[in-house]
Structure 1
């Protein structure tokens, strides 16, 4: 049984999540509901909380300010947010659980099941702090994502985007080919990373390939359109993606020459 608290400043959001959990998640016990970070801290002081459903954008203190308290109480956090697409990219890039409002029942069930499993394991604290710091910086400063967290089974591996040479699809997995590192295989599909990564730097050139333009050496049409990377690898560009690829290269060249 998971001890859960809900933290949200909107009454409708609080009550709807409460009823969704009550009706669909038998292994959840709701200890309390809070309208603010201050009220949530009181609940954490009085209950042994396993899981927090936490809104981010609240008046006064935002949801991130509750994170140290959650960590001290060994509670898992799931963000509930109506944030825009950019914010969702930042959250996904840091491998943090979130539910997009209005909350979907199936996604809620999946999140609760995942939280049950994660509670048996604890992320390395340094990794957790770094991921939250990356997320907070990206959201508060509107900065472009510079690091990404890759789930590795026991926790997460933090890598800089400039370490990624290319990403290769392998069925329902994505294989990251990294500079000066061994490959990392992640149990997520390539499309998820296509949506997260900065589109002015990373281009999907084939149904099974995303390349980092920082590592592009040349492209040619000798054997159909193909790219040659700085490590010598040659990768085909699909006919359907060729025009988009060449436009992205032109934009990338212009942007890098302006720096």
Structure 2
């Protein structure tokens, strides 16, 4: 029997994974469900946890920050994430596994079977510690992301990064403006996406705006520094972020010209 915890800030994600495990994995005992890294840390201190189903993008501390506790407690980690399989090749080499949201039942069963086999072999304790150590290092280095899974209340909308023109802050929400003219509003703050998205392509130019440099047409200082996007939108660049923005554009231009 595997002692398991689920760590995810989204209620839909927590409940759906809970029921999938309960109904399809007889060898799993769910010791607790956490909405944050701090809650998960408390569970790890109270239970001998074999397996953590861990979301990455969460408010406050993200899933990466639980890796050290997982290593300390000798727990295996399975990411339940919005990132696609290409982005996670490096992570998959070191983590036990990952599951792309929305979670597929057959993939979940396969992951639990894999966990049972590995955790059942006591002589692999050193290998487990080393894999978690490598995973922590990989995550600190960052990984290439090509897709995002945006929660919509009833499930998820999967989008390609190259579809995103810009992201706009709206109080505690983020509004994604896509190249098909669709807008998707997500109940996450802009800072979370600033931390997740590739910084060489997505730049925060204002407290309320992140732009995709793929859609940058020009920038000028006629009315204060502003950017003009390929769809004709004009967006102000804050003074505090202006120098960083200009440097990012220079680096991005050099990179694309070298391709």
Please indicate the TM-score interval, normalised by the length of the shorter structure: 0.5 to 0.7
**Structure 2: 5+ residue runs without aligned partners?**
6-24, 35-50, 70-79, 94-137
- Structure 1 residues 176 and 199 mapped into 2: Cα distance closer, same or farther (>3 Å)? same
- Structure 1 residues 158 and 223 mapped into 2: Cα distance closer, same or farther (>3 Å)? same
- Structure 1 residues 136 and 198 mapped into 2: Cα distance closer, same or farther (>3 Å)? closer
* Matches of 1:130 and 1:92, distance apart in 2: 8
Deviation at 1:133, TM superposition (A): 3.3
- Structure 1 residues 182 and 77 mapped into 2: Cα distance closer, same or farther (>3 Å)? farther
Aligned length: 164
TM-score, length basis structure 2: 0.54
Deviation at 1:144, TM superposition (A): 1.3
Structure 1 equivalent of residue 26 of structure 2? 45
- Structure 1 residues 188 and 77 mapped into 2: Cα distance closer, same or farther (>3 Å)? same
- Structure 1 residues 200 and 130 mapped into 2: Cα distance closer, same or farther (>3 Å)? closer
- Structure 1 residues 166 and 130 mapped into 2: Cα distance closer, same or farther (>3 Å)? closer
For residue 53 of structure 2, the aligned residue among 72, 78, 87 is 78
Alignment partner of 1:207 is 2:207: yes
Deviation at 1:45, TM superposition (A): 3.5
Asked if the contact 2:200/2:248 (under 8 Å) is kept, the reply is yes
* Matches of 1:132 and 1:243, distance apart in 2: 32
* Matches of 2:170 and 2:2, distance apart in 1: 37
Q: How does 1:30-69 map to 2 (within 5 A)?
A: 44-46=25-27
* Matches of 1:174 and 1:187, distance apart in 2: 6
For residue 100 of structure 1, the aligned residue among 66, 85, 88 is 66
Q: How does 1:158-197 map to 2 (within 5 A)?
A: 158-197=158-197
Question: Could you give the per-residue CA deviations for residues 229-252 of structure 1, whole angstroms, max 9, x where no partner exists?
Answer: 000000000011110000000000
Structure 2 equivalent of residue 139 of structure 1? 91
Alignment partner of 1:238 is 2:254: no
CA RMSD of aligned residues (A): 3.6
Asked if the contact 1:4/1:50 (under 8 Å) is kept, the reply is no
Structure 2 equivalent of residue 253 of structure 1? 253
Q: Which has the higher contact order (CA 8 A, sep 6+)?
A: 2
* Matches of 1:170 and 1:162, distance apart in 2: 22
**Structure 1: 5+ residue runs without aligned partners?**
8-43, 54-75, 81-90, 104-127
Deviation at 1:148, TM superposition (A): 0.9
Structure 1 equivalent of residue 219 of structure 2? 219
* Matches of 1:255 and 1:4, distance apart in 2: 47
Question: Could you give the per-residue CA deviations for residues 64-96 of structure 1, whole angstroms, max 9, x where no partner exists?
Answer: xxxxxxxxxxxx96229xxxxxxxxxx339xxx
TM-score, length basis structure 1: 0.54
Deviation at 1:131, TM superposition (A): 5.2
- Structure 1 residues 47 and 191 mapped into 2: Cα distance closer, same or farther (>3 Å)? closer
Deviation at 1:182, TM superposition (A): 1.2
* Matches of 1:176 and 1:138, distance apart in 2: 28
